[in-house]
């Protein structure tokens, strides 16, 4: 493709993207295709000769778009949001256009220095400890893996990187039973072994039970294990529960255990003065992560990772072959040494675009709307005869279920599962679920970039409509 053709098609794509966002609510939020549908419509082999852009884009519309779940639809209430925004898209355009590989300062000084600057902005916005150091990772899963490996190396005197594990290094990791599944995956990747991950029971608010944590740590020490790291959650995936930071922090300090804090979704809310409680006692943490690509309107992927001990992080991951040596090593941040990836995208650019375009006040205004809408939806449920709240709502995740009299737990679970499937098949909203103590409950994450009250009202209408329809069918 020549420059003139690129200019023509790029303009057409921008128009299509603008139209897509303008008309996004006309698409079913959740894709309706059956497994294998997309593959059936694509050739078995790559074409021998190049094809025209018009033909490629036609197939995109015909065969790719139907298989897309529209995360940017304002009626996307599933999982946690993976938000985008127009400023983020524009920043991503430029990142792709520049095509820079930002592994070290020399390969693009602006990328390294902008990353350092925007991480300092985030630290100030969220009132994180000033002495912390930040770096952009791709996801919270990767950030947690970095924390575990850094904790491992610091505890072993950086010996495992050199010699591997020895028989006396029986490290144990701790998280709650409600912690994200990526922690278990990271434990396996880092070589600790899944059997050495201790899942600690939760209290009545679904946060980690500090008493149970300390009891498990003492038991492990008595049995010859070496407690290494506690992963505390500020906002669990299932019900957005918060682990008690002060109690956990004091336990980690007493036993010299690395404390990593996973605030992947909820951490963003600390930009609100009224939500600064999220980071109470955060000074106990050795590392911390939250995802601007979830609730801060930065398109995926962009994960903000902070550490107290920068030297331990760098010593864990640094590697300096001759071909990467430069004369600026001691004066700059070479972020290839701050994590797993050697090659790095210029993620700071889209984050910079978002922070400058929205400003702190603009982000706060959006968050307050989302919190108000969640409270509004919660009140609709609480005032209903057929629905109940199933977990406390501290931010913008509402957990609830249809709860009819004279129904067994299994019957109610089946009813709520059917209700969720009906709504998702309808196409006008998308919900997901969780299950706690055998109770199947629905989750409405009200935080999509462009969600409004009318979308929450529509969700409430769909819930009541399909519940009535299901009950009539069974009558």
Q: Tens digit of pLDDT for each residue in 206-255?
A: 999 999 999 999 999 999 999 999 999 999 999 999 999 999 999 999 99
* Percent above pLDDT 90 for the chain: 89
CA 350 to chain centroid, in Å, comes to 17
Helix (H, G, I), strand (E, B) or coil at 154: helix
What is the rounded distance in angstroms from the CA atom of residue 389 to the CA atom of residue 398? 8
Q: Say what the pLDDT of residue 319 is.
A: 80
Whether 348 contacts 111, CB under 8 Å: yes
The CA–CA distances, whole Å, from 455 to 182, 447, 463 equal 31, 11, 12
What is the rounded distance in angstroms from the CA atom of residue 220 to the CA atom of residue 196? 10
What is the rounded distance in angstroms from the CA atom of residue 240 to the CA atom of residue 80? 10
| Mean pLDDT of the 165-189 span | 91
Paired residues of 402 in beta bridges: 387
Quick: pLDDT tens for 308-333: 999 999 999 988 664 565 656 678 88
| Mean pLDDT of the 69-75 span | 97
Beta strands in 284-413 (DSSP E): 287-290, 303-307, 387-389, 397-402
Quick: pLDDT tens for 383-431: 999 999 999 888 999 999 999 888 999 999 999 999 999 999 999 999 9
Name the band, by pLDDT with cuts 50, 70 and 90, for residue 73. very high
137 Rama class: left (phi>0) / alpha (psi -120 to 50) / beta: beta
Name the band, by pLDDT with cuts 50, 70 and 90, for residue 106. confident
Beta strands in 57-187 (DSSP E): 133-137, 171-176
Fill in the DSSP letter of residue 431.
-
Name the band, by pLDDT with cuts 50, 70 and 90, for residue 18. very high
What is the rounded distance in angstroms from the CA atom of residue 210 to the CA atom of residue 151? 21
What is the rounded distance in angstroms from the CA atom of residue 210 to the CA atom of residue 203? 9
Largest CA distance in the chain: 78
Handedness of CA 225, 229, 233, 234 (dihedral sign): positive
What's the mean pLDDT when you consider all of the chain?
94
With CA atoms as reference, report the closest residue to 299 among 136, 83, 94, 146: 83
* Paired sense of beta strands 439-445 and 432-436, if any: antiparallel
Q: Say what the pLDDT of residue 321 is.
A: 61
Q: Say what the pLDDT of residue 396 is.
A: 95
Q: Say what the pLDDT of residue 328 is.
A: 64
Give the 3-state secondary structure percentages of the chain, helix then strand then coil, rounded to 5: 50, 15, 35
474 Rama class: left (phi>0) / alpha (psi -120 to 50) / beta: alpha
Q: Say what the pLDDT of residue 406 is.
A: 85
Quick: pLDDT tens for 109-159: 999 999 999 999 999 999 999 999 999 999 999 999 999 999 999 999 999
The CA–CA distances, whole Å, from 19 to 22, 26, 60 equal 5, 11, 15
What is the rounded distance in angstroms from the CA atom of residue 317 to the CA atom of residue 337? 5
Helix (H) or strand (E) holding 473: helix 453-474
Whether 263 contacts 281, CB under 8 Å: no
What is the rounded distance in angstroms from the CA atom of residue 86 to the CA atom of residue 293? 13
| Mean pLDDT of the 283-309 span | 97
CA 300 to chain centroid, in Å, comes to 9
| Mean pLDDT of the 85-104 span | 95
Is the full-model pTM beyond 0.85?
yes
What is the rounded distance in angstroms from the CA atom of residue 388 to the CA atom of residue 380? 10
With CA atoms as reference, report the closest residue to 76 among 295, 337, 368, 270: 295
| Mean pLDDT of the 266-274 span | 96
The CA–CA distances, whole Å, from 273 to 127, 269, 363 equal 10, 9, 12
What is the rounded distance in angstroms from the CA atom of residue 21 to the CA atom of residue 343? 32
| Mean pLDDT of the 41-53 span | 93
Whether 248 contacts 232, CB under 8 Å: yes
Q: Say what the pLDDT of residue 84 is.
A: 96
With CA atoms as reference, report the closest residue to 38 among 73, 62, 69, 72: 62
């Amino acid at each position: 493709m020549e420059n003139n053709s690129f200019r023509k098609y790029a303009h057409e794509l921008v128009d299509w993207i603008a139209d897509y966002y303008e008309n996004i609510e006309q698409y079913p939020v959740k894709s309706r295709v059956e497994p294998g549908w997309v593959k059936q419509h694509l050739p078995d082999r790559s074409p021998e000769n190049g094809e025209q852009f018009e033909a490629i884009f036609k197939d995109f519309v015909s065969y790719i778009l139907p298989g897309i779940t529209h995360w940017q639809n304002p009626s996307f209430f599933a999982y946690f949001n993976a938000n985008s925004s127009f400023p983020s898209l524009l920043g991503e355009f430029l990142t792709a256009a520049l095509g820079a590989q930002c592994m070290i300062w020399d390969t693009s000084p602006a990328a390294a220095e902008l990353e350092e600057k925007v991480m300092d902005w985030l630290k100030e916005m969220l009132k994180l400890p000033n002495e912390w150091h930040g770096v952009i990772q791709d996801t919270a899963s990767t950030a947690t893996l970095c924390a575990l490996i850094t904790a491992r190396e610091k505890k072993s005197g950086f010996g495992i990187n050199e010699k591997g594990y020895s028989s006396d290094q029986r490290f144990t990791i701790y998280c709650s039973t409600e912690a994200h599944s990526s922690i278990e995956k990271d434990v396996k990747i880092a070589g600790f072994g899944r059997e050495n991950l201790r899942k600690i029971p939760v209290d009545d608010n679904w946060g980690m039970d500090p008493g149970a944590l300390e009891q498990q740590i003492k038991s492990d020490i008595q049995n010859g294990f070496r407690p290494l790291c506690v992963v505390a959650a500020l906002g669990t995936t299932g019900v957005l529960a918060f682990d008690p930071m002060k109690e956990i922090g004091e336990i980690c300090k007493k036993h010299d255990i690395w404390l990593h804090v996973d605030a992947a979704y909820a951490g963003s809310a600390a930009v609100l003065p009224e939500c600064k409680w999220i980071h109470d006692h955060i000074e106990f943490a050795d590392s911390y992560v939250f995802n601007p690509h979830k609730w801060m309107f930065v398109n995926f992927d962009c994960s903000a990772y902070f550490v107290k001990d920068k030297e331990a992080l760098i010593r864990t991951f640094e590697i300096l072959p001759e071909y990467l040596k430069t004369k600026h090593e001691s004066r700059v941040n070479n972020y290839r040494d701050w994590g797993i990836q050697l090659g790095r995208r210029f993620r700071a650019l889209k984050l910079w675009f978002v922070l400058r375009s929205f400003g702190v006040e603009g982000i706060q205004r959006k968050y307050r709307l989302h919190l108000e809408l969640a409270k509004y939806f919660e009140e609709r449920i609480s005032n209903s005869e057929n629905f109940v709240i199933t977990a406390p709502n501290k931010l913008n995740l509402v957990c609830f279920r249809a709860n009819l009299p004279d129904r067994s737990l299994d019957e109610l679970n089946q009813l709520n599962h059917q209700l969720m499937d009906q709504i998702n098949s309808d196409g006008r909203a998308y919900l997901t679920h969780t299950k706690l103590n055998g109770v199947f409950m629905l989750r409405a994450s009200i935080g999509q970039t462009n969600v409004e009250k009318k979308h929450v009202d529509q969700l409430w209408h769909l819930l009541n409509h399909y519940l009535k329809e299901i009950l009539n069918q069974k009558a």
